[in-house]
């Protein structure tokens, strides 16, 4: 299985801050990475696919980059509704696997 690691596991930030989360895969997964946002009691929501493509309807303050084994997810200016947990996920090979998550909360 491809292991996905994320850092940090949690972070505290303020509205307007730039937030960056990194994800590392245990093997080359090309660009086959998605990023999800999950709020308590809700299903994950797809934000980014193919490492850098914004899902339809997702605000442009969210972005992703990377290829191979190293990926980055950025929120350019944190908004109140962005406080949530974020997950990376690889879909280059089966089984599809998720990172452990990064919780973003209020500083």
Partner 1 sequence: QVQLQESGPGLVKPSQTLSLTCTVSGRSISSGDYYLSWIRQNPEKGLEWIGYIYYTGRADYNPSLQSRTAISVDTSKNQFSLKLTSVTAADTAVYYCAGNWNRHGGNFDYWGQGAPVTVSS
- The position carrying tokens 């709020």 is 39
Residue 45 makes contact with partner 1 by CB under 8 A: yes
d(CA 58, CA 93): 26
Give the alpha-carbon dihedral of 72, 77, 79, 83, to 10 degrees. 30
**Stretch of residues binding partner 1 (CB under 8 A), selected from 9-17, 19-27, 44-52, 72-80:** 44-52
Give the alpha-carbon dihedral of 106, 43, 25, 93, to 10 degrees. -170
For partner 1, which is the closer residue by CB, 53 or 76?
Answer: 53
Residue 71 makes contact with partner 1 by CB under 8 A: no
Exposed / middle / buried, residue 80 (Cβ in 10 Å: 0-12, 13-18, 19+) = exposed
Residue 87 makes contact with partner 1 by CB under 8 A: yes
For partner 1, which is the closer residue by CB, 80 or 95?
Answer: 95
For partner 1, which is the closer residue by CB, 3 or 77?
Answer: 3
d(CA 90, CA 107): 30
Residue 35 makes contact with partner 1 by CB under 8 A: no
Site residues (vs partner 1, CB under 8 A): 1, 32, 34, 36, 42-46, 49, 55, 87, 89-92, 94-98, 100-101
């Amino acid at each position: 299985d491809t292991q996905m690691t994320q850092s940090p596991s949690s972070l505290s930030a303020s509205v307007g801050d730039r937030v960056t989360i990194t994800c590392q895969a245990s093997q080359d997964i090309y660009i086959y990475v998605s990023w999800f946002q999950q709020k308590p009691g809700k299903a994950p929501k797809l934000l980014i696919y193919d490492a850098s493509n914004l899902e339809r309807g997702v605000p442009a303050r969210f972005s992703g980059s990377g290829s191979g084994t190293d990926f980055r997810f950025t929120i350019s200016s944190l908004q109140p509704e962005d406080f949530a947990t974020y997950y990376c996920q690889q879909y280059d090979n089966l089984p599809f696997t998720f990172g452990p998550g990064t919780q973003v909360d209020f500083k």
